[in-house]
Amino acid sequence: MKMEIFESFDGTKLALHRSGEGRPLVLLHGLFSSAEMNWIKWGHAQLLAERGFEVLMLDFRVHGESAAPEDPAAYPQNVLVRDVAALVEHLALEDYDLGGFSLGARTSLHAVAHGVLEPARLIVGGMGTAGLGEWAKRSAFFKRVIDEFDAIPRGDPAYFSMQFLKSQGVNRVAARLLLDTMPDLDLAMLSDVTVPTLVVCGNEDRDNGSAEELAALLSDATYAEVPGTHMGSVTKPDLGQTMADWLARTA
């Protein structure tokens, strides 16, 4: 595993983790997580590397080992889409696959639906229609986690999210700015996503609405379930195995 730093479109320093050799596979992690937490720790990156991919894992700004600027100017609309586009340009990728979990999935769908990125294949993990078309509601939940951080009591639905933010050492000033950069996606735009797509979701994961409904809105989608909740599904080998098997079948 190698880690390097590159500069995004606005000079913000972002971390890129690389594993394996072969066909490029860009993977994007979830909100307030990191490449380490979603892809590396649980063995998904190693498995995909063993199956013949160069796994390219970005730490989004405000996440992992990337910078977390507190200047509001560093947070234009859809900034994460622009960061991924900067990564693809930095690596001069032309024929590659793209995958994401949760925030990484919605970022990937925004990028492809808006024509910013043109991967050959797409993997959408832990994402449903509500996480795209009703993101403002989800964002409001996380803003409350940030704003009421130390006052959230045990038993509150936001308590677990607060503990996760604390464990990841997230800069809350920067995180609050980042949340305002993420617009809803008009679900009608999903018709513009025509590449082969794997929609994979935990069988107990309802955090972002219906993943099955999302798959039905895509013209060339395969739907798969793996064990677990939203947070739990990434900790099990089934997620990486399902991704690797689908990539092999669609090669």
Can you give the residue ranges of every domain in the chain?
A: 2-132+187-249
pTM for this model (two decimals): 0.97
Q: What is 2-132+187-249's CATH superfamily? A: Alpha/Beta hydrolase fold, catalytic domain (3.40.50.1820)
The predicted structure's pLDDT at residue 233: 98
> CA separation (Å) from 70 to 21, 109, 171?
36, 27, 9
**214 touches 127 (CB < 8 A):** yes
pLDDT in tens for each of the 251 residues of the chain? 999 999 999 999 999 999 999 999 999 999 999 999 999 999 999 999 999 999 999 999 999 999 999 999 999 999 999 999 999 999 999 999 999 999 999 999 999 999 999 999 999 999 999 999 998 888 999 999 999 999 999 999 899 999 999 999 999 999 999 999 999 999 999 999 999 999 999 999 999 999 999 999 999 999 999 999 999 999 999 999 999 999 999 99
Q: Nearest 5°: phi and psi at 227?
A: -70, 145
Residues 19-52 as b or e (16 or more Cβ within 10 Å = b): bbeebbbbbbbbbbbbbbbbbbebbbbbbbbebe
Beta partners for residue 59, in sequence order = 15
The predicted structure's pLDDT at residue 76: 98
> CA separation (Å) from 49 to 33, 120, 243, 247?
21, 18, 12, 12
The predicted structure's pLDDT at residue 141: 93
Beta partners for residue 125, in sequence order = 101, 200
The candidate with the shortest Cα–Cα distance to 247, out of 195, 192, 191, is 195
> CA separation (Å) from 251 to 52, 171, 174?
11, 40, 39
**234 touches 38 (CB < 8 A):** yes
Tokens 């796994």 correspond to 55
The candidate with the shortest Cα–Cα distance to 239, out of 224, 250, 222, is 224
- DSSP string for 104-153: HHHHHHHHHHTTS---SEEEEES--HHHHHTHHHHHHHHHHHHHTGGGPP
Rounded to 10 degrees, what is the CA torsion of 233, 235, 240, 243?
Answer: 20
